[in-house]
Amino acid sequence: MSCFRLENVSYRYDKALVLRGVDLRLEPGEILGLFGHNGAGKTTSIKLILGLMTPTQGKVSVLGGEAGEPQVSQHIGYLPENVMFYPQLTGREILNHFARLKGASLAQVPELLEQVGLGDAMNARVKTYSKGMRQRLGLAQALLGKPKLLMLDEPTVGLDPVATADLYRLLRRLRDEGTAIVLCSHVLPGVEPYIDRAAILTEGAVQAVGDLASLRRQANMAVTLSIEPANGVSALEKVIANASAGNGLMTHDSNGRLRVDVRPSEKMAMIQTLLDSGEVGDLGIHQPTLEDIYVHFIGSGGLAHRGGSQ
């Protein structure tokens, strides 16, 4: 059973079509990265899964039931973007309140606060918390009652690099225990090793979805070979020019290495030619990163889309 499934889902807000025919699913024990610029439809997708809104068209099913049903919500943990809490209450009082609402045991509250690094601050009022501390409290809140589906909207905002790495490690552990996780973000660096699949949204539509290898295939982006010449740059340049019939883009980097962009389909043949030529001292292969793939799908219009969060 999928943890959630969006089938041909569209959502209209006033006259604007915020989501267009989105198909997306998530299986137990999987981390899905949901990426897109502000206003691409990430938060709207999340709100539909949470049952806060109903789709204009299409079907949303969550944990075998309807989005928003109490028996479904019981098993969902959610960390909203820019999470806020009652400033006059302490971290512990807040978690107690939310645990009661979820019907979860209050005994887990101190343990969860320790887990997110708020053990010493649990009895301090939230108005004294830094942004990072609020974010960690939000994460502890999302983990109440050991949810089957965890939805995190921009979870690393306000976290320092160490806390971010801790968060990702925690998410991996939860995934290994069977929790399905949606990681919604427009901050891509660092996230790549921790997600199983990524979905890239632009203007309310899914542009690409899959694991990294599949996204690379879909993007069909050039692979960069970084080559150290064995006998001189000009001899190496000739070999490359002959092999790619002038198609390969060559650049020199500051270390005297030659960088060549080749199509994925031509990669192996090019490497073979280079090795056979005896002109290669050392060879590095740079696959497109998630960030490269994201930029590829978002296109140069990325800046123009940064309207607002929807």
> Where on the chain is the footprint of other proteins (CB under 8 A)?
47, 50-53, 70-71, 73-74, 76, 78, 80, 82-86, 88, 97-98, 100-103, 141
Compare residues 70 and 246 and give the one whose CB is closer to other proteins.
Answer: 70
Instruction: Please list, residue by residue across 13-29, b when 16 or more beta carbons sit within 10 angstroms of its beta carbon and e when fewer do.
Output: eeeebbbbebebbbeee
Shortest approach of other proteins to residue 83 CB, angstroms?
A: 7
Compare residues 80 and 264 and give the one whose CB is closer to other proteins.
Answer: 80
Distance CA 21, CA 59 (A): 10
Shortest approach of other proteins to residue 102 CB, angstroms?
A: 6
297 in helix, strand or coil? helix
Compare residues 6 and 222 and give the one whose CB is closer to other proteins.
Answer: 6
Shortest approach of other proteins to residue 167 CB, angstroms?
A: 19
Shortest approach of other proteins to residue 96 CB, angstroms?
A: 10
Shortest approach of other proteins to residue 113 CB, angstroms?
A: 17
Compare residues 102 and 259 and give the one whose CB is closer to other proteins.
Answer: 102
| 161 CB burial (10 A radius; 0-12, 13-18, 19+) | exposed
Q: Dig out the tokens for 36 from the structure.
A: 């897109």
Compare residues 34 and 50 and give the one whose CB is closer to other proteins.
Answer: 50
